[in-house]
Structure 1
Amino acid sequence: MDYPNLTANVSITVDVAGKNPGKIVTSLEFLANMHSDNMIGLAQTFGPREFTIGTINEDREKDLDFVRWARIARALTSIQEHTSTRLAFPKSYTGDQAREILDAARILSGTPISATWQPFQVNRDPNIESDWIKYGLEDEVDLRVIRNIEIEIDGVRHVVGKQAALMRAVVVESSDKTVRFKPAESNIHASMVRFDGDAEDRRVQVRPNPKQAKTDV
């Protein structure tokens, strides 16, 4: 049944802190879409789903808090599929912490992320000395750096998976103990992808060219 002259005033109070993201994400996404560009349908909770369609106040704009909360809840729900650590919606968060959660969800879902990187030095591993490759200055190499994927929730760091940073680099220093790399001019960005192997955090793997096998340093 339609009610063409019906007007409903709705008051919404939301408390997301400490909640299970998977149980609140659809409600938050609904609230994030309650703005004037959309329509709303109402139906009884029992019986056939016969919706009464109405408009949302044309002056109602997107509530950015709901939009942000919905994105974080969706990301945490996705991350939860990859870790047995129980994740709760944060009581508070910074912009950097929110981006960390969103990026972790993208990488774990299989979506690469591009990022710039700074020159860094690697200490050669004496346990695999026989496999060391003698690099020459300005040699261009492909690097794979394994790192834990971590997110922070209310002051606690959680390891939720692993990622590999794939980089094209140039050797700028090389000795028996260390090698230093900088970004190659041909590609200054690293591609961050999910890593499902056994290599530990901070392991650096290098490949001088595609025809040679990867060797740890």
Structure 2
Amino acid sequence: QKIEAERISIWEARLEREAEGRHQQLAREKCEARRGEEEWVRSGGILRDANGKRDMVKTQAVRDELKLREVEAQLVRKWETYERRWKELSAGGRGDTKATVTFQDIPWPVDIENRDTLELCDLSVKKVEDFLLGGLRVRGNQVTKKDRIRSSLLRWHPDKMTAMLARVVDEDVKIVKQGVSVVMMCLQELNAKP
């Protein structure tokens, strides 16, 4: 009777492993099929339903998903670049040879194609809001609007900026101080919004 119970236990374990293996195989096949559909649609193809008819609804859904992924990836890249530039700027202020900073060197919280043409008038509440909060739309994002604004308020606070301001080249000191003030006003306005 004990031997029979062991056999049953071994058999049940085997059935569980096989079922799990089938489940994993189906998941892999489904994933592979989805990738194939995405590649087909990306290359301009149109999906077909089980009857071989054009499935424009599913094709459009795949196009929309691909577009959304690209937008999300772009938002993530922009935020990562912003954070990386802040780290580089902070690292340049350590040691005996502190790197000088210009207005264009500062990672202003706005999305501008060419940072070399960035001017004080490019710093607006709308642009700061779009940049800082745009990445919060990315699926799977764990940061809240409140957290993002709070961390930005801390980063851009004039007291926190004194070390960086000390490194700014003389001809840019005034415009950088104005820029920091504008960013702080934008952040305070965003913080006041519900």
Greater gyration radius: 2
Both structures adopt the same fold (TM-score exceeding 0.5): no
Please identify which structure carries the higher strand content.
Answer: 1
TM-score grouping bracket, smaller chain normalisation: under 0.3
TM-score by length of 2: 0.23
TM-score by length of 1: 0.22
